[in-house]
């Protein structure tokens, strides 16, 4: 499948407390993401968004930086909507995972209902009333789901309306889920924890994921948190959790979804300042680049020009 990819950088970190994740969009570009993608498809880089840092952004109902996160996601939603209406597959380079609020909202505003594949160690389905930390990067799914729309009004979120049904969500890679987040069980959300990945194998997980989503034939939004991958491979991230996906399993997920109605991709939580060594940072960034390349047709056995012919003697 030939893609036209539009890239938006979202250098934003206020959904969580650790500096550095805002550096990731430029770090991914510096690692050759655009040049390597251009070998596979047409690419337009929309540059990095700029975000307002709201002064005196005091916690609201226990949630931190609410005004800043709300305004940033409104800006991102508008940018993703415009990119999709330009006809591209959207790639959002985060930033922390609170940005999925704006990315998925903007995607649905442009194309209508979507299905979401959320690849992550964490469910990120806390509400402002259940979160122990108040960090909104642990809450984005609760802002998106119709079934969880009854929550206290928050400043700078009046623009945000739920846009996703729990029936159209699949989790892959879960292994660090808080007790309060088992609300997803009450909603009957399809989820493959690392236990299921081990039991079934990643090929069966992806087959079941796509079979489950296929009936709706909705465009697919892949939201990929780098901490889904085991920290032995991607240590430069804010909330690592041992026992994650291998490099090969992580890549297979993207290769499989490349063959579907993939319409948008988030790559989030790469944090160059959290690596202890340059090798840690390099491994994390290069893996994130490889995951994105897998979304758009890179084959591990090598890509060959369709019109290649043997040289004349």
Q: What's the Cα-to-Cα distance from 129 to each of 82, 97, 199, rounded to whole Å?
A: 33, 19, 34
Closest CA to 275 of 224, 247, 233, 246: 233
Is there a domain that residue 300 lies in?
Answer: no
H or E stretch at 55: none
Is there a domain that residue 312 lies in?
Answer: no
Domain interval for residue 162: 4-295
Is there a domain that residue 266 lies in?
Answer: yes
The answer to whether 227 is annotated as binding is yes
Q: Given 57, 96, 120, 290, which residue is catalytic?
A: 120
Q: According to the model, what pLDDT value does residue 2 have?
A: 59
The answer to whether 178 is annotated as binding is no
DSSP count for the chain of H helices, then E strands: 10, 8
Is there a domain that residue 307 lies in?
Answer: no
The answer to whether 57 is annotated as binding is no
Q: Distance between CA 231 and CA 190 in Å, rounded?
A: 25
Strands (E) in the chain, as ranges, are 4-10, 42-48, 89-94, 115-119, 169-174, 190-193, 220-225, 262-268
Q: Given 3, 22, 88, 97, which residue is catalytic?
A: 97
Structure token digits, residue 312: 């004349």
Note whether 180 and 186 are within 8 A (CB).
no
Residue 178 among the catalytic residues: no
Q: Distance between CA 225 and CA 227 in Å, rounded?
A: 5
Is there a domain that residue 70 lies in?
Answer: yes
**pTM given for the model:** 0.95
Is there a domain that residue 27 lies in?
Answer: yes
Q: Given 22, 124, 181, 266, which residue is catalytic?
A: 124
How many structural domains is the chain composed of? 1
Residue 97 among the catalytic residues: yes
Q: According to the model, what pLDDT value does residue 311 have?
A: 87
Residue 269 among the catalytic residues: yes
Is there a domain that residue 303 lies in?
Answer: no
Beta bridge partners of 222: 117, 265
The one-digit pLDDT tens for each residue of the chain (313 residues) are: 457 999 999 999 999 999 999 999 999 999 999 999 999 999 999 999 999 989 889 999 899 999 999 999 999 999 999 999 999 999 999 999 999 999 999 999 999 999 999 999 999 999 998 999 999 999 999 999 999 987 778 999 999 999 999 999 999 999 999 999 989 999 999 999 999 999 999 999 999 999 999 888 999 999 999 999 999 999 999 999 999 999 999 999 999 999 999 999 999 999 999 999 999 999 999 999 999 999 999 888 887 777 778 888 8
| CATH code, 219 | 3.40.800.10
The answer to whether 124 is annotated as binding is yes
Q: According to the model, what pLDDT value does residue 1 have?
A: 47
Q: Distance between CA 93 and CA 140 in Å, rounded?
A: 16
Is there a domain that residue 310 lies in?
Answer: no
Side by side, the strands of the sheet bearing 89-94 are: 42-48, 4-10, 89-94, 262-268, 220-225, 115-119, 169-174, 190-193
Structure token digits, residue 253: 């997920």
């Amino acid at each position: 499948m030939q893609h036209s990819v539009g890239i938006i950088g979202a250098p934003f970190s206020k959904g969580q407390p650790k500096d550095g994740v805002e550096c990731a969009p430029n770090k991914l570009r510096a690692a050759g993401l655009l040049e390597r993608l251009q070998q596979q498809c047409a690419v337009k880089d929309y540059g990095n968004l700029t975000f307002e840092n709201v002064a005196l952004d005091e916690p609201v109902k226990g949630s931190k930086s609410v005004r800043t996160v709300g305004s940033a996601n409104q800006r991102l939603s508008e940018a993703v909507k415009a990119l999709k209406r330009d006809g591209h597959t959207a790639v959002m380079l985060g930033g922390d995972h609170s940005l999925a609020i704006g990315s998925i909202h903007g995607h649905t505003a442009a194309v209508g209902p979507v299905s979401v594949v959320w690849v992550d160690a964490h469910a990120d389905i806390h509400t402002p009333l259940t979160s122990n930390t108040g960090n909104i990067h642990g809450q984005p799914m609760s802002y998106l789901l119709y079934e969880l729309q009854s929550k206290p009004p928050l400043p700078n979120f009046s623009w945000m309306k739920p846009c996703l049904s729990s029936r159209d969500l699949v989790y892959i890679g879960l292994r660090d889920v808080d007790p309060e987040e088992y609300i997803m069980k009450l909603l009957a959300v399809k989820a493959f924890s690392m236990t299921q990945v081990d039991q079934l194998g990643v090929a069966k997980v992806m087959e079941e994921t796509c079979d489950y989503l296929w009936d709706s034939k909705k465009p697919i939004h892949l939201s990929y948190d780098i901490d889904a991958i085991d920290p032995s491979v991607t240590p430069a991230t804010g909330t690592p959790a041992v026992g994650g996906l291998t490099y090969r399993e992580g890549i297979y997920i993207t290769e499989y979804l490349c063959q579907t109605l993939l319409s948008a991709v988030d790559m989030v939580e790469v944090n160059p300042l959290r690596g202890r060594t340059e090798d840690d940072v390099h491994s994390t960034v290069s893996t994130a680049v490889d995951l994105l390349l897998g979304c758009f047709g890179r084959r591990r056995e090598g890509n060959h020009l369709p019109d290649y012919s043997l040289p004349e003697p």
